[in-house]
Structure 1
Amino acid sequence: MTTNRTLVIVAHPNLTESRANATRLAEIKDLDNVTVHDLYQAYPDSNIDVAREHQLLREHDTIILQFPVYWYNVPSLLKAWFDAVLVYGFAFNFDGSPSALHGKKAWLAVTVGSTMETYATDGLARRTLEEYLAPVTQTLEFCQFDYQGFHAVYGMMFDPSEENLILDAKEYRRLVATCETPAA
């Protein structure tokens, strides 16, 4: 039986100040077959090593993008990573042939400043989080990833309790360790 290799691509510009993301990472750091790749640590100058990134993607079966939602979007370095790494001939083809990413599982692990109620059609954001994540999910699907959904923790601007952060991190660990599909 082949062991699933998971790549967690972390894109948080202030990871040391992020209680939720740091707690999640601390919870998975000892998992076998999991590689944590911090884009802001690897590329403080924003000069992305595309060959290295392609190799990392080739070597792993499941890709998790872990990031905070900033103004209904991804952090700037993750967007730059998409633009540099997910290119024609590697991540997609127009002739229908399989890409290097074809069939690899992918999901999102996001942290959100506002509450879950904010992300409702009748909430302050006027749309669901799933709607705001649509450009990312479409990108993954276009690149032939097997998109699995997202795991979100809300209310980060409101100083969540340590207990809630630990509960979220334990659920995150379970999802990463078991390669289970997150329930949005």
Structure 2
Amino acid sequence: MTTNRTLVIVAHPNLAESRGNATWLAGIKDLDNVTVHDLYQTYPDFKIDAAREQQLLREHDTVVLQFPVYWYSVTPLLKAWFDAVLVHGFAFTFDGSASALQGKKAWLAVTVGSTLETYAAEGLARRTLEEYLAPVAQTLEFCQLDYQGFHSVYGMIFDPLDEDLVLNAKEYRRLIATSETPAG
């Protein structure tokens, strides 16, 4: 039986001061067959080596994009990564042929500053987190990745209880270790 290889692409501009993303990473650092790839550490100048990134994607079965939600979207370097790496001929085609990513699983791990109640039709954000993540999900699906949903933790600017963050990080570790689908 082959072992699932998971690539966790971390796109946090200030990981040293992160609670949520750093806690998640601390919980998975010892897992076999998991590669943690910090975009902001690797590309502080935003000069992305597309060939290197594409090779990393080829070498893994599951891709997890881990990032804090910035203005209802991805972080700037993750957007630049999409533009440089997920290009025609590698990540997608127009003729119906398979991309290099076809059949690989992908999901999102996102930290959110606001509360869950904020992300509701009647909340301050006026939409759910799932609605805000739809463009990212569509990008992954367009690239023929098998989008699995997202794992999230809310309220990061309100300093969530350590116990809640630890429980969330345990669930994150379980999802990555077992290759299960996040509930969203």
So what's the TM-score if we normalise by structure 2? 0.99
Deviation at 1:162, TM superposition (A): 1.1
Deviation at 1:110, TM superposition (A): 0.2
Deviation at 1:165, TM superposition (A): 1.1
Deviation at 1:164, TM superposition (A): 1.0
Aligned to 1:59: 59
* 2: CA distance, partners of 1:162 / 1:120: 25
C-alpha deviations, 1:3-37, integer Å up to 9, x for none? 10000000000101011100100000000000000
What are structure 1's unaligned runs of at least 5 residues?
A: none
* 2: CA distance, partners of 1:148 / 1:24: 18
What are structure 2's unaligned runs of at least 5 residues?
A: none
Alignment coverage as a number of residue pairs: 184
* 2: CA distance, partners of 1:174 / 1:63: 15
Deviation at 1:61, TM superposition (A): 0.1
* Structure 2 counterpart SS, 1:151: strand
* Structure 1 counterpart SS, 2:30: coil
* 1: CA distance, partners of 2:182 / 2:16: 25
Q: How does 1:88-99 map to 2 (within 5 A)?
A: 88-99=88-99
* 1: CA distance, partners of 2:17 / 2:167: 19
- Segments of 4+ moved more than 3 angstroms: none
Aligned to 1:87: 87
Q: CA RMSD in A?
A: 0.4
* 1: CA distance, partners of 2:159 / 2:116: 14
* 1: CA distance, partners of 2:78 / 2:20: 18
Aligned to 2:148: 148
Aligned to 1:50: 50
So what's the TM-score if we normalise by structure 1? 0.99
* Structure 2 counterpart SS, 1:24: helix
Moved more, 107-116 or 160-169: 160-169
* 2: CA distance, partners of 1:86 / 1:30: 29
Q: How does 1:1-184 map to 2 (within 5 A)?
A: 1-184=1-184
* 1: CA distance, partners of 2:24 / 2:88: 33
Percent of residue pairs identical: 82
Letter in 1 for 2:36: V
* 1: CA distance, partners of 2:63 / 2:158: 29
* 2: CA distance, partners of 1:130 / 1:96: 28
* 1: CA distance, partners of 2:52 / 2:131: 31
